Amino acid sequence: MKGKKKFAILPLLMFLAIAAWKYFSADTWTNPETGEEIKIGLSEDQEEALGVQSYREVLAESQVLTRGPEVDLVRRVVQRLIPATGDGGDDFEWEVNVVQNDQVNAFCLPGGKIVVYTGILPVAGDEAGLATVIGHEMAHATMRHGAQRLFQNDIYNTVMQGAQASMADMDPASREKVIGLLGAGAKFGVLLPFSRDHETEADQIGLLYMARAGYDPEASVAFWQRMAEQGGGQGPEFASTHPSHGTRIDNLRKFIPEARKQMP
Ligand SMILES: [Zn+2]
């Protein structure tokens, strides 16, 4: 038995067939900004229900501010950004809350539920800086990045199940090694690049939103520079997939002239 490597191809083929079926039968959605047809793993209703649920959970365990200058500022920026989302945010029931918390963080859940932590306000600096962050977060929701990621993960998990089933008779040590390699390959070769693309898209669409709302997209550069000075490590959702700040700022600069054309 020792060292014997039995790999059965059939289970893998079966799971690949399931993955292919899932891929080709997946729901698609037309990106309202780019016209691109995109595969998604959740319906808009399902996505929104999940968004509302997480929103309530976050608010229930947070210190929510109901009034004050911070609340006024955040609400003002959001009110200006909402119409700028156009078709992407048409069916959303937008809502925003400010949470008293030193974390440099903000996010927008599917369906348009926004949470802004007071810790990000000094980094945002002014209204245009805040519009940079919130526009970026709104774009993740309107571009349905969560539903896209779910679809990708589903395909990935199906293929991995197939690989595992094919290696059921292999000795556990080599099986673990192969699964580890496959997992790392998929993570760095497929899933991470996808999330980096999502970051770039959120940056670009966020610029459009802020421009349409009347904020100069040029302000996004100064905002990301302040974020870089923060150390860029912990906290914000948008640091989690880490395009380097330099790369991000270069990309923004390329897109700013185009976005500026949409200023009122
Ligand atoms: Zn982001």
Q: What is the pLDDT of residues 96-108, one digit of tens each?
A: 999 999 998 999 9
Catalytic residue selected from 137, 199, 237, 258: 137
Q: Which domain holds residue 195?
A: 9-260
Which residues lie closer than 8 Å to 41 by C-beta, 6 or more apart? 26, 27, 147, 148, 149, 150, 151, 152, 153, 154
At residue 259 the predicted structure's pLDDT band, cuts being 50, 70 and 90, is: very high
What pTM did the predictor assign? 0.88
Separation of 187 CA from ligand 1 center, angstroms?
18
Q: Express each pLDDT in 53-97 by its tens digit.
A: 999 999 999 999 999 999 999 999 999 999 999 999 988 999 999
Separation of 71 CA from ligand 1 center, angstroms?
22
Q: What is the pLDDT of residue 234?
A: 41
- The residue type at 120: I
CA distance 194 to 199: 9
Is 3 part of a structural domain of the chain? no
Average pLDDT, the chain: 88
Which residues lie closer than 8 Å to 209 by C-beta, 6 or more apart? 81, 84, 85, 131, 135, 138, 139
Separation of 238 CA from ligand 1 center, angstroms?
4
**Does the active-site annotation cover 95?**
no
Is 244 part of a structural domain of the chain? yes
Asked if 112 and 95 touch (Cβ cutoff 8 Å), the reply is: yes
Give the number of domains in the chain.
1
Is 93 part of a structural domain of the chain? yes
Separation of 204 CA from ligand 1 center, angstroms?
11
Query: In the predicted model, is pLDDT for residue 240 greater than 80?
Result: no
Separation of 83 CA from ligand 1 center, angstroms?
20
Asked if 255 and 151 touch (Cβ cutoff 8 Å), the reply is: no
Separation of 140 CA from ligand 1 center, angstroms?
6
Separation of 136 CA from ligand 1 center, angstroms?
6
Cβ-count burial 67-103 (b if 16+ within 10 Å, e if not) = eeeebebbeebbebbbebbeebbeebebbbbbbebee
CA distance 48 to 72: 26
